[in-house]
Amino acid sequence: MAKSDVKLIGAWPSPFVLRARIALNVKSVEYEFLQETLGSKSELLLKSNPVHKKIPVLLHHDKPICESLIIVEYIDEVWASGPSILPSDPYERAIARFWASYVDEKWFPAMKSIAVAQDDEARKAAVVQVAEGLALLEEAFQKISKGKSFFGGDHIGYLDIAFGGFLGWLRVTEGTGGIKLLNETKTPGLLKWADDFAAHPAVKDVLPDIGKLAEFSKVIVAKMRAAAAAPAK
């Protein structure tokens, strides 16, 4: 399949875009990466995702697919001959989707709260929330991985990709806050998982450089704080 058949509109810091890139790498799909500039949205993006105007957008034969987890599932189905991303058992699929949804709906918003916390007390409360979430994910990891390296077992799967997309931001949060969110005492499984995931061939070349991400996060956090502090209309 020609490289131009598959395009991904995205940006290097986005955890959601990273999910799509890892999935494409798992399937060894060649694609054109169309990098958006922060602060402006390309015409192609606005045309391909008119409803949300957000990245990532996968363009397959010029047909757009939006929402990162929907993109990952699409990739899994279309390139079916490659390694499977979702498990084949319906119950295991439901569990993987459940935790991916938890990461998106509960855990990541708590992570963002750490960044925009206006004072120390708020920050501490947010850190507690994130840590509680990680405890749940650690428990899930122990159950689902069954002693293997990844949520997907020997190979990275849907939940590895869904959660792993945030690994860079997790590291930046740890660095900026001087906190060890993944640690030997509370999250030994995830601590090892994180290293295995980051080193995985489908991940290592697309995982953003932590230093670069930390610099970028300063810009983003300033924007988020300004938006949070702005008086509600």
Partner 1 sequence: MADQVVLLDFWPSPFGMRVRIALAEKGVKYEYKNEDLWNKSPLLLQSNPVHKKIPVLIHNEKSVSESVIVLQYIDEVWNDKAPLLPSDPYLKSQAKFWADFVDKKIYDLGKKTWTTKGEEQEAAQKEFIECIKLLEVELGDKPFFGGETIGFVDVTLVPFYSWFTVYEKLGNFSIEPECPKFIAWAKRCLERESVSKSLPDQDKVCDFVVEMRKKLGME
**Interface residues toward partner 1, by CB under 8 A:** 51, 60, 63, 65-67, 70-71, 73-74, 77-78, 90-91, 93-94, 97-98, 101-102, 136, 233
Q: How far is the CB of 54 from partner 1 (least distance, A)?
A: 11
Q: How far is the CB of 221 from partner 1 (least distance, A)?
A: 24
> Which residues have CB under 8 Å from 118's CB, separation 6+?
225, 228, 229
Q: How far is the CB of 89 from partner 1 (least distance, A)?
A: 9
Q: Cα separation of 228 and 132, whole Å?
A: 24
Q: How far is the CB of 118 from partner 1 (least distance, A)?
A: 23
Task: State which H helix or E strand residue 229 sits in.
Answer: helix 210-229
CB 31 within 8 A of CB 83: no
Of 82 and 177, the one with the shorter C-beta distance to partner 1 is 82
For helices 15-26 and 167-177, the axis angle rounded to 10 degrees is: 140
Of 14 and 149, the one with the shorter C-beta distance to partner 1 is 14
83 cis-preceded (ω within 30 degrees of 0): no
Backbone phi, psi, residue 186, to 5°? -90, -35
Three-class SS state of 153: strand
Of 58 and 117, the one with the shorter C-beta distance to partner 1 is 58
Of 68 and 149, the one with the shorter C-beta distance to partner 1 is 68
Determine the residue type at 229.
A
> Which residues have CB under 8 Å from 112's CB, separation 6+?
224
Of 25 and 48, the one with the shorter C-beta distance to partner 1 is 48
CB 121 within 8 A of CB 112: no
Of 69 and 170, the one with the shorter C-beta distance to partner 1 is 69
Q: How many C-beta neighbours within 10 Å does residue 139 have?
A: 12
Q: How far is the CB of 211 from partner 1 (least distance, A)?
A: 34
Q: How far is the CB of 134 from partner 1 (least distance, A)?
A: 13
